[in-house]
Structure 1
Amino acid sequence: MRVPPSLFPDHHSEEKTAVYIPATMSRSEATSTSAFGGIPETVIKPWKPPPRKTYLFKRANLVDTAQGSIISNVNVKIAGGVIKLVENNDPRIAGLAHLRGEDDLGQVTEVDLDGKFLCPGLIDCHVHVSAVPGELSLSSAVTISDLAVSLLRQPFVCSQMLSRGFTTVRDTGGATLALKEALEEGVFPGPRLFICNRALSQTGGHGDLRGAHDHGDQGGGGGCCGGSASQLAVVCDGVPECIRAAREQLRTGADFIKIMVGGGVGSPTDRLTNTQFTAAEVRAICDVTESYGTYVTAHAYTPKAIRHAVDNGVKGIEHGNLIDEATARYMAERGIWLTPTLVTYDAMASDDYAGFLPPENQRKNEEVLHQGLKSLTIAEKAGVNMCYGSDLLGPLTREQSKEFGIRSVILKNKQVLQSATVNAAKMLGQESFLGQLKPGYAADMLILDVNPFNEVAVLDEPERHVLAVIKDGRVYVSRWRKLPVDATQREEVIE
């Protein structure tokens, strides 16, 4: 047997640079360990999930989110984290090797769906993973003095999102690169994550959480880029600070940039009618993101704030509750994305969360709550592309799925589901990988016991209707006896 050269550092033969492959390790497995000097990756990163299985889901009703229709009686094969095959379940070809038995990816596990619905994994385009449950009020949820409290609770928030069927989320302030990497590596269960790091706010803007009598730096002072920082946002003023703040978010892993261009419900010192950042500041931030090949999305409610953002280079609008018809047409003509978040206002007004908002914030919440459904009608009529968003903080995060039922009051079931699948995927620049069930796409899918095109509001209750959640080809959640969870390594039975 060849001796591992690492055991003899003074050995000078040509074999010193060879990769030692244990007898129990395949060549492909060894290739994946080369970055660790021949040590198996599972030793360096023991949380790595077990190898993916190859699945053949037979006799499924496939939810075609692009066309808004059901394709009946199909077989879907997944392997290596992607969809390999989608075809009609024809009994005449059921015995072919590409459908069952051994193939080049190992044993195929067959699952007979018997008419159950196979749906793409859901995408929530407006979350705040770091604003965790465990605190009673808005201020305590977003201004936790010890960030370790939030960090230690974030795995719970991520696992709950995945259990509801959200296999991808876009965090619009607070989530970090470390969290994104932990999810990618399988340290704990959770959705795919797109981040902006911290959102950008002017002094006194929606991201500045200091009260009017607080003259200190936000979050205790000392934020990056010359401004002050909190858990969700960094405050920056003037073009140089805005440029540095944008670059800092991108340097530390941001996929996009989020800015506050108007007043908000949760901020203590601004009005909903405010516009925030100067045109030069917004343009400077957008120039930075364009140079990085990405985009800016903006928190905005009013027509004035929306136009201020779009005129200066912003590509997406969050919320938009006070939009008017002319501004909706203006957005549609320019291909601007809108991500409404109606469930958050509904939850904050509910008696279930009494005391979450202080009185001054409750008044602002009432104003945007009553305009929310109207904004959907206006945006839909104008042809604005809409994505699914929830924007829930602290204990309200449990309401994430309720946005489906709220939107279905105004929009067609197909439109609501598309906002959380194909539309969201396109906005994220992932339209060739997420949001549909087609060969080459991610094996992110849900098994449902009902047709979501008939009643999309059933997704409000994932604990009743989402039988299984598959992400990246692994079964992370199962409420169905026929399909066990395989995303974690089972313990060996001792007795």
Structure 2
Amino acid sequence: MRFAVKGELVDLESGDHERRYILIDNGKIASVERHVKGVDVVDASDSFILPGFIDLHVHIMEDGFRVESKLEDPLSLYFYRALENMRKTLHAGVTTVRDAGLADLGVRMASESHMIQSPRMQISVTPLSVTGGHFDFHTRSGMNIERTYPGLPSGICDGVPDVRKKTREVLRAGADVVKVMATGGVMSSTDSPSDTQFTVKELAAVVEEASFRGKRVMVHAHGLQGIKNSLRAGVHSVEHGTYIDERTAAEMSERGVYLVPTFLVTRLNCRRAMRGELQEYSRKDAIEVARVHRDNMETAHEKGVRMVMGPIQGLLNMAGISWNFFISQKSEWSHWKH
């Protein structure tokens, strides 16, 4: 099937935009033309045509990491929910996502085979976490609410030998990238964002095992020491980076490590905390993280750290919608020098 889309085409290299026709042939862009004849035209004259967005931090299987959901919802509901999350994400203009935890190989296969409406996917399967760390789903009562099944192993590991084995398990399960929780997190009941989790040797073991398979490592890291440990271990991207300082930002820039600042979730979690919508154990951390996050991200930017976008869909239960909100907030950082 051949047709054309008429609209304002944005050239991301020059920043210019002009009226153009994008010729689509059998679902693929064939060419960009000034004029077309003999094909149906979809008139998008009131819209801009952009390349698809790439979202580097989603949890496509989740709708907020709610404790009650993990206790009460059938496992199958997670997959039906993911279908809707992927559809909304794609329709919001996001054509590629990197899932930061809980999407398994079957989800990626369904996307690749076009069985479902979905962005292209990279998956991490299960994030690695120390015992009692961020992504250890034992509650304060001692109950374990982690969901595991064939193809989605537990990510809990301690010590270099165990970390190596767990990395291999995640890669065996089909991970395109290995995700590690190097610090605590806002939503955890048993740790705080500044807590350091995993030693440099443990993190380096993950990086080495991943490299044997040609894979990269992404780390969740709020606290400064966790960020430092991750850089020394040779990771490829840092998620959040909340408490980064000037010296560490300079090192990060020199090493060429990417930062996924997750502006959106930080801002909205703070709002939720102030409205009393988060669990009590998360409220103080959410407000404190938001207090320092923006200024520290500006510091990282000034030091030349390369930043990429990842609003964290799934944590906020607003797949697709989160990108619209994210774009609407661009004035928060639009004054930064490029």
TM-score by length of 1: 0.62
| Aligned equivalent of 2:28 | 82
Q: How does 1:241-256 map onto structure 2 within 5 Å?
A: 241-256=162-177
- Structure 1 runs not aligned, ≥5 long: 1-52, 102-107, 416-495
Q: CA deviation at 1:331?
A: 0.9
Report the Cα distance in structure 1 between the residues aligned to 2:273 and 2:189, rounded to whole angstroms: 22
1:352 to partner: Cα distance = 9.7
Q: 1:75/1:223 Cα in 2 relative to 1: closer, same or farther (>3 Å)?
A: closer
Report the Cα offset of residue 357 of structure 1: 1.9
**Matched residues, number:** 336
- Indicate yes or no: 2:333 matched with 1:410: yes
1:331-370 correspondence to structure 2 within 5 Å: 331-350=252-271, 354-370=275-291
Conserved 8 A contact 1:63-1:69: yes
Match of 1:157 in 2: 85
CA 1:366–1:151: 2 relative to 1, 3 Å: same
Say which one has the larger Rg: 1
User: Does residue 109 of structure 1 match 2:40?
Assistant: yes
CA offsets per residue over residues 176-197 of structure 1, 9 Å max, x none? 1111111222222122211100
C-alpha change, 1:323 and 1:294, in structure 2 (3 Å) is: same
Closer, same or farther: CA 143–69 of 1 in aligned 2, 3 Å = farther
* Map 1:279-428 → 2, pairs under 5 A: 279-350=200-271, 354-393=275-314, 396-398=317-319, 399-401=321-323, 402-411=325-334
1:6-405 map, 5 Å: 53-58=1-6, 60-65=7-12, 67=13, 69-87=15-33, 89=34, 94=35, 99-101=36-38, 108-114=39-45, 116-132=47-63, 138-141=66-69, 146-214=74-142, 219=146, 229=154, 234-350=155-271, 354-393=275-314, 396-398=317-319, 399-401=321-323, 402-405=325-328
* Partners of 2:220 and 2:238 within 8 A in 1: yes
Structure 2 CA distance for partners of 1:236 and 1:386, relative to 1, 3 Å: same
> Shift of residue 276 of structure 1?
0.9
User: Residues 256 and 79 of structure 1: is their aligned pair in 2 closer, same or farther, counting only changes over 3 Å?
Assistant: same
In structure 2, the CA distance between the partners of 1:115 and 1:351, relative to structure 1 (3 Å rule), is closer
Counterpart code for 1:117: F
Any stretches of 5+ residues in structure 2 without a counterpart? none
Q: 1:82 to 1:412 in 2, by over 3 A?
A: farther
Distance 1:117 1:390 in 2: 22
Aligned-partner Cα distance in 1 for 2:253–2:141:
41
- Displacement of 1:393 after TM fit? 3.6
Cα RMSD between the aligned structures? Answer: 2.8
Q: Whole-Å Cα distance in 1 between the matches of residues 51 and 336 of structure 2? A: 15
Give the CA deviation at 1:328.
1.3
SS of residue in 1 equivalent to 2:267:
helix
Q: In the alignment, is the contact (CA less than 8 A) between 1:261 and 1:309 conserved in 2?
A: yes
Q: In structure 2, what is the equivalent of residue 427 of structure 1? A: none
Partners of 1:375 and 1:315 lie apart in 2 by 20
Provide the rounded CA distance (Å) in 2 between the counterparts of 1:373 and 1:293.
Answer: 33
User: Cα–Cα, structure 1 residues 223 and 177, in superposed 2: closer, same or farther, change >3 Å?
Assistant: closer
Q: CA deviation at 1:412?
A: 5.0
Identity %: 31
Contact 1:263–1:272 (CA under 8 A) maintained in structure 2: yes
Q: For the Cα contact (< 8 Å) 1:171–1:195, is it kept in 2?
A: yes
Q: CA deviation at 1:272?
A: 2.1
CA contact (8 A) 1:347 1:396 kept: no
CA contact (8 A) 1:279 1:312 kept: yes
**Pairwise CA distance, 1:302:** 2.5
SS in 1 for 2:230: helix
Question: Does the 8 Å CA contact 1:143/1:219 hold for their aligned counterparts?
Answer: no
> For 1:154 and 1:222, how far apart are their aligned partners in 2?
17
CA distance in 2, matches of 1:365, 1:273: 12
Once the two structures are TM-superposed, the CA of residue 340 in structure 1 deviates from its matched residue by 1.1
**What TM-score, normalized to structure 2?**
0.89
- The answer on whether the counterparts of 1:138 and 1:394 sit within 8 Å (CA) in structure 2 is no
Shift of 1:259: 0.1
Query: How far 1:112 sits from its partner (Å)?
Result: 4.7
Distance change in 2, residues 1:112/1:211 (3 Å):
closer
Q: Which residue of 2 aligns with 1:25?
A: none
Q: Distance in 2 between matches of 1:56 and 1:414?
A: 37
Corresponding residue SS for 2:282: helix
SS at match of 1:194: strand
Q: CA deviation at 1:370?
A: 1.4
